[in-house]
Amino acid sequence: SYNDQKMINIGENRYRLSGVVNFKYQFSPQWYSESFLLYNWLSDNTHYKASPSYTGVLSQDPSMSLTTYLAYQSPQYWQAYIGLEQMMGTDQHLDGQAYSKGQKDIKAYVGATIPLDAHNLVHFRYGQTIAMETGYREDNQLILKLSHLW
């Protein structure tokens, strides 16, 4: 739970349930397109610190996003892709009252995955908001991630 005496608070004091439906079409051995629909449901955060003097119950409507991209897989196992992601936002409520509008936007991105060895991958992704209805604009999003495969 949230502690206003700590500089970093880990967790949101709630649970998340996510589901994904994925479609992939292989054009050739190297080229493919993939789309997936992500559904998120979050339980209520019963100890949400709305301000230094007020703690309430934060609830959130379910959210969905649709992502689609075109990718190239090289014979050396590196991958490059370009894609779009549409967020179909979720409204938030504090103690049953409207609190904030959900993120509703479209982002474009490019990325690459490069194998370092048989078990480690490095992922790079750059994205930018190209259309926005509600939420916050990401002028530049940069993700660098390391994955280990067991």
37-71 residue pLDDT tens: 999 998 898 888 777 788 889 898 898 999 999 99
Q: By three-state DSSP, how is residue 134 classified? A: strand
Q: Which of 112, 111, 114 is nearest to 76 (CA)?
A: 114
Note the pTM of the prediction, 2 decimals: 0.73
Pairwise CA distance, residues 33 & 39, whole Å: 20
Q: So what's the pLDDT on residue 12?
A: 60
Residue 6 has pLDDT above 80, yes or no: no
Where b means 16+ CB within 10 Å and e means fewer, 2-23 reads: eeeeeeeeeeeebeeeeeeeee
The token duo for 117 is 């060895």
Amino acid identity of residue 48, one-letter, is Y
Q: In 10 A of CB 53, how many CB atoms?
A: 7
Where b means 16+ CB within 10 Å and e means fewer, 96-123 reads: eeebeebbbbebebebebeeeeeeebee
Q: So what's the pLDDT on residue 138?
A: 79
Q: pLDDT tens, 103-131?
A: 888 999 999 999 999 899 999 999 999 99
